[in-house]
Structure 1
Amino acid sequence: MGVFHTICNLLSTIGKRFQDAGLRDLCVESGVIAEGSVSGVMDGRRYNRAVRLHKLVYEALMRLAWKGFLPWLEENHSRDIHHLDGTLKNINSFHSNVSQGTFQELMESESCTHILKLFQVYLETLRDEHNLSAFWMSYLDMVEIMLDLVRASREGNWMLHLGAIRQMIPWVFCLLTR
């Protein structure tokens, strides 16, 4: 099976898991997917529309997570707020001078790496503390697998492809064998 059909299989798995949890209604009522196309998107038959939908929902959920991260950071790691200020300054610097060098500086800065680690800790607390947030965090995990497969295909990165397939197998086995 080629990468395209592998991704379609994963899209079908995502649709099967999340369509009745509100994803179907979300994509129709937001106007992202027409009502007549939503079944094809959920079944993995409308590749471009499904990838677009999942990218948009992924971004929306990550923005909500970031919005909750700031109060969590103040409450649980108030001594690390200065790292957030440093990270935002570095991002603004990168914004005014977009280049590989400034990006590398941003990613290697102590404040940025510290905030990224804390954000990962926050995402793990979302997975662990509440069933509903854990459910939607699994959506983010599955979309990240899809994005890794797309990226691996475009870049010809075999190791990324194998890693994504390895992560995908339990989800597909669990949801498509029912």
Structure 2
Amino acid sequence: MTSGKAIARAVRAHFLIDTALTSIILSHIYGIPLPDEIENETGTNDINPANYINTDNTDINAEDLSDELHEADAMLDELLKGDISVEKACDNVLIDQIKSRIDNFRESHKSFRTSQLWFQYMDMIDILRRFIKAERTGNWELHLQTVKDMLPYLAASGHNLYVKSSRVYLQQMENLKTTHPEVLAFLQSGHHVIRRSDKFWAGLSSDLVIEQVLMRSLKTTGGMTRGRGMSEGQRAQWILSMPDCAEMNNALQEFTGVNYGTSDQHKEGGESRRSRDCQDLKTFLSFLISRSPFVEETSLRNIETGVSADKFVNVDNSKELGIKILKSMDGKK
């Protein structure tokens, strides 16, 4: 089983790759060279890419492009300074304009199989990002939607047990509005996750808390596996005494002045982490720039080796295949 730290590193890598791919797409759309390309041309990366705009290969009016870039730059500065909220930034019409241009770019590359494969990868990363957001913020509706969005990919990859279990889970949760409306209201209020603090981005999945908190305390010093025994009475006594032990622990911390606390700033939002992300992002960009998957070719190609797949390989249509598999499962036990 992969450890939590390894999973966190893998998720971070996927997010950085997604950012690099999005940067390449925006570079194509707006005619802006990427930082690595500017560095190769000028010998320095301390250059504003906006000074190197080239609209020869774009369908965008140069004046409109310049206005969009300056508006985006100003909005980013305000967001980083805290002058505007994330919600206000996301509601800005500029975001919709950029999304629309990306959608048009994807549509124009619909017939190119290599591009479609990487677009599909980006969609999967988006599902992962939204699922993490749902768990961290306790967003019940987003949780159900992301689980539903995962189903085609799980089916196409042959994870049949995950597909069956997830479908049953979604059906049961959809029926809560008629079978147990009070439970549905409880879940919609953010209680499908567990919180150990009152911070907004602090929701934890119940199985994670059981494994890392309850099971760890059970197996460490003072736990049941350290000589107390595992009879039914001992288990009940140990579990029922946990709330009182927690209260006593908090009281002793307050009495001694030794309290456990964390910063309001997430560790991934610190200056050192952002600097490291920027450097690692440049590493991914330097690899992908010369191997861009968004080329106008109909074959399905490995961007590293250049080997092309034959006509029997259909990995670039995983979502469509997964949807067909899900439809074939309808009405079956």
Same fold (TM over 0.5): yes
The total of aligned residue pairs comes to 136
Q: CA RMSD in A?
A: 3.3
Tell me the equivalent position of 1:89.
70
Per-residue deviation, 1:102: 7.3
| Structure-2 change in CA distance of 1:100 and 1:170 (3 Å) | farther
* 1:149 corresponds to 2:131: yes
CA distance in 2, matches of 1:134, 1:150: 24
Deviates more, 1:157-166 or 1:138-147: 157-166
Per-residue deviation, 1:93: 1.9
Superposition pairs of residues 13-162 of structure 1, within 5 angstroms: 46-71=6-31, 75=57, 77-79=59-61, 81-98=62-79, 99=82, 101=84, 107=90, 113-126=96-109, 128-162=110-144
Calculate the TM-score normalised by the size of structure 1: 0.62
Secondary structure at the aligned position of 2:157 is classed as: helix
Q: Higher helix share goes to which structure? A: 1
| Structure-2 change in CA distance of 1:93 and 1:168 (3 Å) | same
Per-residue deviation, 1:77: 2.8
CA distance in 1, matches of 2:27, 2:89: 21
CA distance in 1, matches of 2:74, 2:138: 32
Tell me the equivalent position of 2:308.
none
CA distance in 1, matches of 2:15, 2:93: 29
What does the per-residue CA deviation read over 1:34-93, in whole Å, with 9 as the maximum and x for residues that have no partner? xxxxxx59xx994212211211211111111112222497556334x4332222111232
Question: Is the Cα–Cα contact under 8 Å of residues 55 and 143 in structure 1 kept in the other structure?
Answer: yes
Gaps of 5+ in 2: 32-53, 161-333
CA distance in 1, matches of 2:142, 2:129: 11
| Structure-2 change in CA distance of 1:82 and 1:114 (3 Å) | farther
CA distance in 2, matches of 1:165, 1:143: 13
CA distance in 2, matches of 1:163, 1:69: 30
Per-residue deviation, 1:177: 4.2
| Structure-2 change in CA distance of 1:106 and 1:50 (3 Å) | closer
CA distance in 1, matches of 2:128, 2:100: 23
Q: Which has the larger radius of gyration?
A: 2
Secondary structure at the aligned position of 1:114 is classed as: helix
Gaps of 5+ in 1: 1-7, 9-39
Per-residue deviation, 1:110: 5.0
CA distance in 2, matches of 1:82, 1:112: 18
Tell me the equivalent position of 2:245.
none
